[in-house]
């Protein structure tokens, strides 16, 4: 196989056989070491299977394929969490654009909304995760620098007001633009959703969101079987896999069926108003037309569909 006029110097090296032997031995040892180093991968949870691996993007699934996927997910929930869940897929309604408004004069910072979210959306119990952060703010301005989301004392405290923040369902959502693989997108009714089975977990959307609205599954969520909310949907509150992004969906599994978001139902003060922005007779339209509402970080041009207001 000596095939060239310019050969490299090792060819007539007498030690070449011993070297070759040593190299082969080294390479074998190296391969064995690699196998050992990668061993933790073998213990991977069973949910990483061929069907999961090959599953197409949600928006490319036919209704038949969806049925198969949902059935598989229900079986997985049974196997891993020992619960019977139903995974639905309510489509966006015609002529509906969801909006949310929050009366800051009324909110007392009790965090009942955050707690309801935690339960409704099957969040990991240990981390006490929720899509809603309630900030205790100093009266006299809207300055998050003086805000505190980890307050731990009776509410409402004097001199303070409370500002719950969750996904603003931006019309110009920077998170959607950022995602390299369209794993997150805006639905017709304005809800920004994530396909938990398509997301690769790069967290670029989390860096892009100006409202700290996104949550990452740093580990597999743990929920005791009796606490799982079995009324689930594919794009919202089904139990998320490890390593993917999630976010508030205005409880689309409820709201697309005419119910109200869990956080609104839980609010003891009635600070929250939810509804269809396209319906001129809706309460949310009344609030926007009659109150001086504002949105967070308006200057960024994200056009939130989450409005705040104070009673005069």
Partner 1 sequence: MVEAQIPSPPAPQKNSAVLSYLGFLRRATGVATDGEWYFYVWMIVLSGIALVGANAWAQQVRDGMIVTNMSDHVSWGLYIANFTFCVGLAAGGVMMVIPAYLYDDEEMHQVVIIGEAVAIAAILMSTLSVVVDLGRPDRFWHLIPGIGKFNWPLSMLTWDIIVLNGYLLINLHIVGYLLYMRYLGRKPNPKWYIPFVFLSIFWAISIHTITAFLYCGLGGRPFWNTALLAPRFLASAFVSGPAFIILSMRVMRLLTDFHFSPKPANTLIRIIRVSMCVNLLMLFSEVFTLFYTGGSHASSAQYLFFGSHGANGLVPWMWASIVLNIVGAILFFTPAALRRENTRIVACLFCIVGIWIEKGMGLIIPGFIPSTLHEVVEYSPSLIEWKVTAGIWAFGLLILTLILKLIASVFSYDLSRKISMKQNVVPEETPATTSMPVETT
The closest alpha carbon to 192, from 172, 212, 210, 207, belongs to 172
Applying CB under 8 A, the span of 39-47, 78-86, 111-119, 265-273 interacting with partner 1 comes to 39-47
- Name the one residue in this structure whose structure tokens are 């670029």: 204
145 or 311: whose CB is closer to partner 1? Answer: 145
Shortest distance (Å) from residue 38 CB to ligand SF4: 24
Q: Does 208 bind partner 1 (CB under 8 A)?
A: yes
Question: Which of 103, 166, 169, 217 touches partner 1 (CB under 8 A)?
Answer: 217
Applying CB under 6 A, the span of 101-109, 112-120, 155-163, 209-217 interacting with ligand SF4 comes to 209-217
Q: Which pairs with CB-CB distance under 8 Å and at least 24 residues apart come from 308-311?
A: 308/101, 308/102, 308/104, 308/163, 309/101, 309/102, 309/103, 309/104, 310/103, 310/104, 310/105, 311/103, 311/105, 311/106
Q: Which pairs with CB-CB distance under 8 Å and at least 24 residues apart come from 293-296?
A: 293/101, 295/168, 296/165, 296/168, 296/210, 296/211
Which of the residues 123 through 142 are near partner 1 (CB under 8 A)?
133, 135
- From residue 227 to residue 246, the character string flagging contacts with partner 1 as x (rule: CB under 8 A) and all else as - is --------------xxxxx-
What number of chain residues touch partner 1 (CB under 8 A)?
72
Shortest distance (Å) from residue 167 CB to partner 1: 12
Cβ-based neighbours of 135, under 8 Å, separated by 6 or more: 144, 147, 148, 149, 162, 163, 164, 165
Residues in a beta bridge with 100: 274, 306
Question: Which of 88, 104, 119, 174 touches ligand SF4 (CB under 6 A)?
Answer: 174
Q: Does 184 bind ligand SF4 (CB under 6 A)?
A: yes
Residues within the interface to ligand SF4 (CB under 6 A): 167-170, 173-175, 178-179, 181, 183-184, 192, 194, 199-205, 209, 211, 213-214, 245, 247, 302
């Amino acid at each position: 196989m000596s095939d060239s006029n310019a050969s490299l110097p090792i060819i007539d090296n007498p030690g070449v056989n011993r070297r070759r032997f040593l190299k082969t031995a080294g390479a074998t040892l190296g391969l064995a070491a690699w196998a050992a180093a990668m061993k933790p991968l073998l213990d991977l949870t069973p949910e990483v299977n061929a069907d999961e691996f090959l599953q197409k993007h949600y928006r490319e699934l036919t209704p038949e394929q969806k049925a198969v996927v949902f059935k598989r997910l229900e079986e997985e929930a049974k196997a891993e969490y020992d619960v019977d869940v139903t995974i639905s897929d309510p489509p966006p309604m015609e002529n509906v654009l969801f909006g949310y408004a929050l009366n800051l004069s009324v909110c007392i910072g009790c965090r009942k909304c955050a707690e309801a979210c935690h339960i409704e959306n099957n969040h990991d119990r240990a981390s006490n995760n929720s899509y809603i952060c309630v900030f205790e703010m100093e009266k006299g301005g809207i300055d998050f620098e003086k805000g505190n989301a980890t307050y731990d004392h009776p509410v409402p405290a004097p001199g303070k007001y409370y500002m719950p923040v969750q996904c603003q369902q931006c019309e110009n959502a920077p998170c959607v633009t950022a995602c390299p693989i369209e794993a997150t997108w805006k639905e017709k009714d304005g809800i920004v959703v994530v396909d938990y089975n398509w997301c690769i977990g790069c967290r670029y959307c989390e860096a892009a969101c100006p409202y700290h609205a996104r949550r990452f599954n740093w580990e597999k969520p743990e929920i005791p079987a009796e606490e799982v909310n079995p009324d689930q949907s594919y794009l919202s509150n089904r139990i998320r896999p490890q390593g993917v992004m999630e976010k508030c969906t205005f409880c689309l599994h409820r709201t697309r069926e005419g119910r109200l978001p869990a956080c609104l139902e839980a609010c003891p003060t009635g600070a929250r108003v939810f509804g269809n922005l396209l319906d001129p007779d809706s309460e949310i339209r009344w609030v926007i037309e009659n109150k001086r509402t504002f949105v967070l970080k308006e200057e960024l041009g994200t056009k939130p569909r989450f409005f705040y207001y104070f009673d005069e």
